[in-house]
Structure 1
Amino acid sequence: MLWIPFTLLAAFMQAWRNAFQKQLSLDVGVIGVTLARFIWASPLAALYLWGLYQWQPVAMPKFTGSVIGFIVAAALAQILATALMVRLFKLKNYAIGAGLAKSEAVLAAILGVLFFSEALNLLGWLGVALGGCAVFLLSGSSLRKLSMPVLLLGLGSGLAFALTSLWVRQASLVLDLPFPHGAAWVLLMVILLQTILLVLYLVVKDRITLQALWQRPKLTLLVSVCSCVGSIGWFTAMSLESVALVKTLGQVEVLFMLLISTFIFKEKLKQTDHLGLALIVLAAIAVMWA
Structure 2
Amino acid sequence: MFSLATLWIPFVVLASLGQVARNAMQRELTASLGTVGATHVRFLFGFPFAVLFVAAVIFVTGDIVSWPNLTFWLWLAMGAMTQILATGLMLAAMNERSFVVTTAYIKTEPIQAALFGFIFLADHLTWLKVLAILIATAGVVITAIRPGGEKSFGDLRPTVLGLAAAAGFALSAVGFRGAILNVGGVSFVTAASFTLVLGLFMQTVVLSAYLLLRDRKTLVALFQMWRPSMFAGFMGAAASQFWFLAFALTSVANVRTLALIEVLFAQGISYYSFKQPIALREAGGIVLIVIGVAVLIAVQ
| TM-score under structure 2 length normalisation | 0.88
Q: Residue deviations 1:14-57, cap 9 Å, x none?
A: 12222222232233233212211111111101111111112111
2:73 counterpart residue number? 68
Which letter does structure 2 place at the counterpart of 1:180?
V
Shift of 1:112: 1.6
For residues 190 and 237 of structure 1, what CA distance do their matches in structure 2 show?
A: 16
1:272 aligns with 2:272: no
Cα 1:96/1:51, change in 2 over 3 Å? farther
2:173 counterpart residue number? 165
For residues 44 and 210 of structure 1, what CA distance do their matches in structure 2 show?
A: 19
Larger Rg belongs to: 2
Q: Residue deviations 1:104-142, cap 9 Å, x none?
A: 111101122233211211221111001110110121254
Shift of 1:93: 9.4
1:227 counterpart residue number? 236
User: What is the RMSD computed on CA atoms of the aligned residues?
Assistant: 2.3
2:160 counterpart residue number? 152
Which of 194, 217, 220 pairs up with 1:185? Answer: 194
Cα 1:206/1:264, change in 2 over 3 Å? farther
For residues 17 and 100 of structure 1, what CA distance do their matches in structure 2 show?
A: 22
Cα 1:20/1:96, change in 2 over 3 Å? farther
2:110 counterpart residue number? 105
Q: Is the Cα contact below 8 Å between 2:79 and 2:171 reproduced in 1?
A: yes
For residues 11 and 159 of structure 1, what CA distance do their matches in structure 2 show?
A: 19
2:51 counterpart residue number? 46
For residues 269 and 90 of structure 2, what CA distance do their matches in structure 1 show?
A: 17
1:239 aligns with 2:214: no
User: Which moves more between the two structures, 269-278 or 5-14?
Assistant: 269-278
Which of 45, 59, 62 pairs up with 1:57? Answer: 62
Aligned positions, number? 290
Which letter does structure 2 place at the counterpart of 1:116?
L
Shift of 1:186: 0.5
Q: Residue deviations 1:37-96, cap 9 Å, x none?
A: 111111101111111112111122331110011111111111112223334444469976
DSSP 3-state at the match of 1:77 = helix
For residues 183 and 64 of structure 1, what CA distance do their matches in structure 2 show?
A: 16
For residues 98 and 20 of structure 2, what CA distance do their matches in structure 1 show?
A: 14
For residues 21 and 89 of structure 1, what CA distance do their matches in structure 2 show?
A: 15
Which of 1, 5, 10 pairs up with 2:10? Answer: 5
Cα 1:226/1:148, change in 2 over 3 Å? farther
Shift of 1:209: 1.1
Q: Is the Cα contact below 8 Å between 1:187 and 1:235 reproduced in 2?
A: yes
Shift of 1:282: 0.9
For residues 72 and 33 of structure 2, what CA distance do their matches in structure 1 show?
A: 34
Q: Is the Cα contact below 8 Å between 1:18 and 1:98 reproduced in 2?
A: no
Identity fraction in percent: 30
For residues 107 and 94 of structure 1, what CA distance do their matches in structure 2 show?
A: 21
Which letter does structure 2 place at the counterpart of 1:164?
S
Cα 1:93/1:210, change in 2 over 3 Å? farther
| TM-score under structure 1 length normalisation | 0.91
Show structure 1 runs of 5+ residues with no match: none
1:129 counterpart residue number? 134
Which of 260, 265, 272 pairs up with 1:256? Answer: 265
Shift of 1:8: 0.4
User: Which moves more between the two structures, 37-46 or 147-156?
Assistant: 147-156
For residues 43 and 280 of structure 1, what CA distance do their matches in structure 2 show?
A: 35
Q: Is the Cα contact below 8 Å between 1:46 and 1:188 reproduced in 2?
A: yes
For residues 264 and 105 of structure 1, what CA distance do their matches in structure 2 show?
A: 28
1:216 counterpart residue number? 225
